[in-house]
Amino acid sequence: MGRWRCSILLGTLLTSTSKYPTPYFCRPFTPLRYLPFPSNPISRFFRFFPFSALPSPASVYANDFVSGSHDFPHDYIFQPREDDGSEKIPVKAFFLCTSIDLRSMQAEHWSNIVPPSSRSANYIVLRYYDFPSEITGIGGEDNVGCCHYMVVFQYGSAVLFNIVDNEVEAYLKIVRRYASGLLPEMRKDDYAVKQNPVLAEDMQGGTDYIVLKNLDIDGIRIIGRVLGQSIALDYFVSQIDGMVEEFTDINRGMEKTGTFTMDRRKLFQLVGKANSNLADVILKVGLFERSEIAWRDAKYAQIFEYLWEEYEVTQRFGNLDFKLKFVEHNIHFLQEVLQNRRSNLLEWCIIYLIFIENVISIYEIIHEPTAVSL
């Protein structure tokens, strides 16, 4: 096996003299590629060694590649190691619209779609490589540090894994192509995952990060789900907060003047907004739907429960429900007031009609003798 390692090292030495470019971001519906290879024929030979007449050593050294072997050139992007030896992977969650057409996105970016592991249809996972195509087959696709991932949810959230700040906008631009109901101000949340293969437990929590032995695709799905739901819940809470402030101003005005000026149409709009927000949280976001991945494996269930508690999703939904009940109470009160106003108007109309009828009757009585005498 030493000849293969020598051939790889020799190829590395021969190509190190040429300027091999760093990875660059290209169209996300194709895997991330490198710039064209140098024109050096010897360099080209060693870069395409899997297609040479010699048998490929890929299967022999696949495990070395995943575990961080130094047989390959270090021109690729790897995340920096922490003081404890763990690899930190940044995670960024965004809520940028109210709906995303996942079907069209999946059809146009099929080459980057990660096959689903459950029957859930409200999200898709896309994977983009940092390596040339001849390298990704050597275990690279299972190493999260070598790839970029984007989890896109139908209700408007997008969670990015292992993507640096200067490339975030390029990925979000892809999502916006299939988005509807774009928000004037996008919401964002930062998190991090640390990989530590020597960790004694399956996971360990920290401040704005979680430590795992290994972050795999199902782990990305679990973390992406909780972060996507959390950032979406922030948006719906802000919507309800705006309604609470509006009713608070109405109540303060009633305290000073004893009346209010809201019309019936505006009140119905508030009723529809409150009901649609609650329906979106429960149905579209699927806040209380069980995770099939966590159901199948206790390791992912532990991650899910930890993040659920870390982001206080249950408590925040409880606060949302309490605010909705406050809004609902005010809506019922104002509806009764408007109904009473309408009833009073109808009563005055009846009184007016009765008055007109009496006037006409009196007029006829007064003029009836005159008509008889004639």
**DSSP-assigned letters across all residues of 353-372:** HHHHHHHHHHHHHHHHHHHH
Q: How far apart are CA 48 and CA 52, in angstroms?
A: 7
Q: Is 120 helix (H, G, I), strand (E, B) or coil?
A: coil
Q: Return the DSSP state at 37.
A: P
pLDDT in the model for residue 79: 53
User: How far apart are alpha carbons 140 and 58 in whole angstroms?
Assistant: 11
Domain-located, residue 192: yes
Q: Does residue 160 sit in the same domain as residue 179?
A: yes
Task: Please tell me the distance from the alpha carbon of residue 274 to that of residue 238, in angstroms, as a whole number.
Answer: 12
| Phi, psi dihedrals of residue 191, rounded to the nearest 5° | -145, 180
Q: Is there a domain that residue 72 lies in?
A: no
In a domain, 6, yes or no: yes
Say if residue 267 is in the same domain as residue 221: no
- How much is the pTM? 0.68
* Domains in the chain, number: 3
Q: What's the pLDDT at 346? A: 81
Residue showing tokens 């030493």: 2
Question: Is 344 found in the same domain as 240?
Answer: yes
124 with 42, same domain? no
Full residue range of the structural domain in which residue 287 is found: 230-348
* Ranges of the chain with pLDDT below 70: 1-85, 131-145, 369-374
- Residue 49 in any domain: the answer is yes
- Inter-residue contact 131 to 74 (CB < 8 Å): no
Residue 17: inside a domain:
yes
Retrieve residue 110's tokens: 């099929």
Pair 225, 294 in one domain: no
Q: Specify which residues 157 forms β-bridges with.
A: 95
Last residue of a domain, one of 209, 229, 249: 229
Residue 373 covered by a domain: no
> String of b and e for 326-350 (b: at least 16 CB within 10 Å)?
ebeebbeebeeebeeeeeeeeeeee
Quick one: 224 and 94 in the same domain? yes
Task: Give the count of beta carbons closer than 10 Å to the beta carbon of residue 178.
Answer: 18
Indicate whether 290 belongs to any domain: yes
Residues 279 and 225 in one domain: no
Q: Same domain, yes or no, for 342 and 321?
A: yes
Question: Is 236 found in the same domain as 215?
Answer: no
Q: For residues 287 and 229, what is the distance between their CA atoms, to the nearest angstrom?
A: 7
Domain presence at residue 206:
yes
Q: What is the pLDDT of residue 341?
A: 72
Considering the domain architecture, whether residues 167 and 54 belong to the same structural domain is answered as: no
* Residue-level pLDDT at 259: 78
Residues 265, 298: one domain? yes
218 with 244, same domain: the answer is no
